[in-house]
Structure 1
Amino acid sequence: MSRMEGVQHLQIPLEEIKLATNSFSKENLIARGGFGNVYIGKLNISGEQSTVAVKRLDRKFGQGNREFLMEIQMLSCYKHKNLVCLVGFCDESGEKILVYEYVKYGSLDGYISNKDLSWLQRLKISLGAARGLSYLHNDVGPQHRVLHRDIKSSNILLDDQFEARISDFGLSKIGPSNVEFTFLVTDACGTFGYTDPQYHKTGVLTKESGVFIWHSAI
């Protein structure tokens, strides 16, 4: 079975993405991350012009096919108001591109030190991210849960209502949920400074590792 089976309807032609981003122009560049550059653009979606964020894979940062496929699989299956929304993807002419609903205020890391961000807003953001994490751990299905592995402030996006949206699922793992203690033995992965020390030391990944990482992020 093809790993892309069931998501063909999300494919967006490369030419449309180039038109939307003015051929990935510097003027459209809005962010850089571990996957690659992110561009703002306008795409025709269901007959309407919509603002989107276009993430273009740059292999020099170490990510590739696995992260690309995982992001598509996660966000085509799981929907929640505190998860980023995938619009589509492009896998054409050597390009691997992910297209998301544009999130107005970008990532949380740009606001943590901002004194204008009230404590009420900070609480709202924290609760929103926690709800998204709870959904991944407890509500995606009766037999499994999603362990994100890279929760950090730069992977929490803020929409126009300052609602938190968890993003960047390329490093995620699927674990069982129908057991008393969920754990996976994997090579330690994530961002240095946020990783659960026990996970980093033992390679044993639990849902509690994600909670630890989220507390570190805020």
Structure 2
Amino acid sequence: MKVIAFNRTLQGSGASRRLRTSGQTPGIIYGGAEAPVMIALDGNALYHALKKEAFHGSILDLEIDGKSQQVLLRDFQMHAFKQLVLHADFQRVDASSKVHKKVALHFVNAEVSPAVKLHGAIVSHVLSELDVSCLPADLPEFISVDLANIDVGHSIHVADLVLPKGVTVIAHGTNQTVATASVPAGHVSAEATATAEAAPAKAAAKPKK
């Protein structure tokens, strides 16, 4: 994704406030061998870009004065109640150095799992993102969590995930739970209903002695 920015010379809260009033958002680029650079971005374009998942989890091509560099969005601040981005931080990336980034999880195939299809269970998403390490070129926009085989009372853990090539999870001491399946209290599964319905018919069909 491409981001257009402009060099910003004036600093301080007053200058930032005037910048926002004019429809721009102050920001900074840091990291690598170069010094930090103060920038300004189109506030409306940045606000809408932040709504896209790819903007948070992809390497961005940030262009200043016709020169492009690869960066990651590292942080941003929103106004408490206005649709306004107050500030944005970007970090330069080196193609040969690994980056650490939180990547969103996409949960798929829950509707065909035994837990949901046979037992009417609810699959709870315990994690919504993973902290990963990889080269910039290998950074995925998201990681899929296949729920097709999950059954009631079972869980999917980080170690069960199929990760994209070149991507490793940054461990936090335990094999974290990603998703679990459980039946709501008072809910009767399709399997139990079928068994209950079949019982009277079976009894009626049984020959008398």
Q: TM-score range by the shorter chain?
A: under 0.3
Q: Give the structure with the higher percent helix.
A: 1
Give the TM-score, by structure 1 length.
0.26
Q: Give the structure with the higher percent strand.
A: 2
